[in-house]
Structure 1
Amino acid sequence: MSAPPVFEDIGFGYRPRAAYACDPAKSRGRFYPEPESPTRTPYQRDRDRIIHSTAFRRLKHKTQVFIAHEGDHYRTRLTHSIEVAQIARALARALRCDEDLAEAIALVHDFGHTPFGHTGEDALDDKMKPWGGFDHNAQSLRVVTRLERRYAEFDGLNLSWETLEGLVKHNGPLETRGGEGIDGPVPKAILDYSALHDMELSRHASLEAQCAAIADDIAYNAHDIDDGLRSGLLTLEMMREVALPGRILEKVDERYPRLDPVRAGHELMRRQITVMVEDVINSAQEKLLAAKPASPDDVRDAGYTMVTFSQTMALDEKTLKSFLYANLYRHPEVVEVRKAADRVVRELFDAYFADPREMPEGWREGLDRADERIRARDVADFLAGMTDTYAIKEHERIFGSGLFDRFAVLR
């Protein structure tokens, strides 16, 4: 495939791709070889396949912080993924990387999340402990390499190696060079796939993947504040006591002394994103200038993450996360809803595992005769793919509990 056109540096917008950026013309290819597209680069095709997948549509009804039934205006995994992709593209553009690859990784990074966010993941991981546990990152890989069934010639989406690398390692290497897991055992799904299509688990991922990873942090830090303010669980007065949002609100107050709280909250969100993005760009440019990587492999072999916050911003971000955990994610009202969500996932798993006939056609065939490991993993695949709303309906169908009826919608 011939290289795509390189854009001229016009001072604003597109700039020439850097030597350390992933070049789509030099992609390592796909697990199942396919003819190249005459109109799209491999990474553009990956992005398009991701957007048209069933897993992408399901993100619409998967929770970000608030359960999907709690209101139409809160973030879901879908809106969050789109917001992450926008920030990832902005970072990739500024750092002269491949924007399409950064966007593709951002759009696919949450495919493996269960219904009810991390509550659902923790519950499913606990139920799957006898059979290797559950990890949303490994599940994302299962979705795009096995569970999506859209193509006549292969299972999965057959994404390019670079997109899969970014999906698996966007938060950093998974193994030491000696093959030991860095944060505990590497999930079996990742090891099994890497044995067939080497993901180089001991190396860092591309700069594009690093852009997607930190874009995730930037997006949810800002947008969880926005949702928290909308719900009434957070207030602007509370935010003024936190270092980073407090400084931003002080400037907003100086310029717009009579601004209404709703607009002030939106000013906080957009300014915080801008401040964090600009900090990452400056920090990454300093690291790139010092390291002088001449290829994507130089980035992978650097031994550290190049796309990071500055030390000052990293401290501010850590403080903000601690505040959000204490005042939003662990707020008593959120905790009560999550207790119900935890029960839904656990009881559904037990019901499907005990009697696979409770699952729909296409999932239950042969599971009554399969060994426990296969049955458990298929049940986990089915459960992980559920939306919040479908999981609630299935629980009501089987148990008739109406667990969520007692919770008022947060508005």
Structure 2
Amino acid sequence: MCLRVEREKLEHLMYFDFATFADSSKGRKNYEEQCDMRTIFQRDRDRIIHSKSFRRLKHKTQVFISPEGDHFRTRLTHTLEVSQIARTIARALRLNEDLVEAISLGHDLGHTPFGHSGEKVLNKLCKNGFRHNEQSLRVVDFLERKNDRIGLNLTEEVRDGILNHSGSDVSSTLEGKIIKYADRIAYINHDIDDAIRAGIISEGSLPKELTSVLGHSSSERINTMIGAIVKKSYGNPIVEMEEDIYEATMELRKYMFNRVYLDSVVKSENHKIDRLLTELYNYYDEDIMRIPTDHLNIYDNVDADKEDIITDYIAGMTDTYAIKQIKEIFIPKGWS
């Protein structure tokens, strides 16, 4: 008995006809034999979870750089919250949960150290710019290595969802569209929670005209936002949020930009991050051979310019590793 085939049959009973089915996947760039137990999307999910870039997310900043306390979100906990929200939506809408989970777990693999502050620095330094969603796709397509395999060789549907999860980009699957909503729902609400913990705002300072619509706690707001997607989209080949809830959500997001993301406390370390990553970039730019051999070996027989190599290396760093490199490179031994 092939358990994968049984699961593929079950998908057609569980999901609406407009869902993305594992047995109808566009497949991988490089052909592989199917697994007897797992569907093609389940294998993608597992490959992402077992990747080095996924493990590094636990030491990458979400919003608050080097926060004091164990309860602030990291890029990894953000990713897990996105996955939970996305699976809840997918299950309610009878869409493919395994595809949704794979995309959500991989969507931020290309994020830089120090969160969006680091992303802005690399975007400034790179002549072609830098976007974390594009880098996430580069991670799964090229940078991750196992044995003789280049990249994770993921399905086209997962790759599409990773690339198109942010900005004005639109995924070609309904499951990919879920991730954009889940990402926004997750970061708005957990960033409110972290900002309250940091003393930047309080629950009572949130605009009452928004909390009266969305809810007076994180769990209430998440439930309202998810519910608005399910009510608007259930039984239809769309993933959209009810208009009044969407407008309130975007107003709350705007509030967070004005009161938290652009807050002087949150931004107080930005100039240091700019200097730190710029110095690192220039150091490797002066001599590419300063980058460890195991990273340089990735580009054997590949036409890559120096900027790509340096950007890949720095973007892959955790916060702690970047700081460690700065200390080793620029601070004399014996100095603290």
**Fold conserved (TM > 0.5)?**
yes
Code of the aligned partner of 1:376: E
Task: Provide the residue aligned with 1:362 in structure 2.
Answer: 294
1:4 alignment partner, one of 2, 7, 17:
7
Kindly state the Cα deviation for residue 399 of structure 1 after the two structures are TM-superposed: 2.3
Contact 1:6 1:16 in 2 (8 A): no
Tell me if structure 1 keeps the 8 A contact 2:161–2:171.
Answer: no
1:159 to 154, 162, 166: 154
- Displacement of 1:27 in angstroms is 1.2
Change (3 A) 1:172 1:269: closer
Asked if 1:342 corresponds to 2:270, the answer is no
Contact 1:6/1:17 (CA < 8 Å) preserved in 2? no
Written as runs of structure 1 = structure 2, the 5 A alignment for 1:279-358 is 279-285=228-234, 288=236, 293=237, 306-358=238-290
Equivalent position of 2:139 in the other structure? 143
Q: Would you say 1:244 and 2:176 are equivalent positions?
A: no
Residue pair 2:215, 2:224 contacting (<8 A) in 1 also: no
Deviation at 1:58, TM superposition (A): 0.5
How many residue pairs get aligned? The number is: 328
Single out whichever of 354-363 and 385-394 deviates more from structure 2: 354-363
Contact 1:166 1:206 in 2 (8 A): yes
Change in Cα spacing, 1:279 to 1:325, as seen in structure 2 (3 Å) is same
Report the AA paired with residue 159 of structure 2. L
Check whether the contact 2:166–2:180 (CA below 8 A) recurs between aligned residues: yes
Counterpart check, 1:209 vs 2:176: yes
Whether the aligned pair in 1 keeps the contact of 2:133 and 2:165 (CA below 8 Å) is no
**Matched-pair identity in %:** 41
Please give the TM-score of this superposition, normalised by the length of structure 2.
Answer: 0.90
CA distance 1:247–1:135, change in 2 (3 Å): closer
Alignment partners' CA distance in 2, 1:397 and 1:243: 51
CA distance in 2, matches of 1:309, 1:139: 28
Q: 1:127 to 1:210 in 2, by over 3 A?
A: same
- Map Cα deviations across residues 246-291 of structure 1 (whole Å, 9 max, x no partner): 55666xxxxxxxxxxxxxxxxx1111111110011112227x1xxx
Question: Which residue in 2 is equivalent to 1:393?
Answer: 324
Q: Indicate if the aligned counterparts of 2:213 and 2:248 stay in contact, CA closer than 8 A.
A: no
Q: Is residue 103–residue 158 contact of structure 2 (8 Å, CA) maintained in 1?
A: yes
Shift, 1:68, TM fit: 3.7
Residue 339 to residue 92, structure 1, CA distance change in 2 (3 Å): same
Partner secondary structure for residue 379 of structure 1: helix
1:378 equivalent in structure 2? 309
| Ranges in structure 1 where 5+ consecutive residues have no aligned partner | 9-13, 175-202, 251-267, 294-305, 406-411
SS at 1:2 equivalent: helix
* Root-mean-square deviation over aligned CA pairs: 2.5
| Aligned mates of 1:242, 1:117 — CA distance in 2 | 29
Deviation (angstroms), 1:228: 0.6
SS at match of 2:295: coil
Confirm or deny: 8 A CA contact 2:8 2:22 kept in the other structure: no
Q: Deviations over 1:354-378 (max 9, x none)?
A: 12233222235699xx99x711110
Q: Contact between 1:4 and 1:25, CA under 8 Å: does it hold in 2? A: no
Q: Contact 1:228 / 1:234 at 8 angstroms: preserved in 2? A: yes
Corresponding residue SS for 2:34: coil
Structure 1: which 4+ aligned runs deviate by more than 4 Å? 5-8, 171-174, 246-250, 364-367
How do 1:83-162 residues align onto structure 2 when only pairs under 5 Å count?
83-129=81-127, 132-152=128-148, 154-162=149-157
Q: Could you tell me which residue of structure 2 aligns to residue 297 of structure 1?
A: none
Query: TM-score, normalising length from structure 1?
Result: 0.74
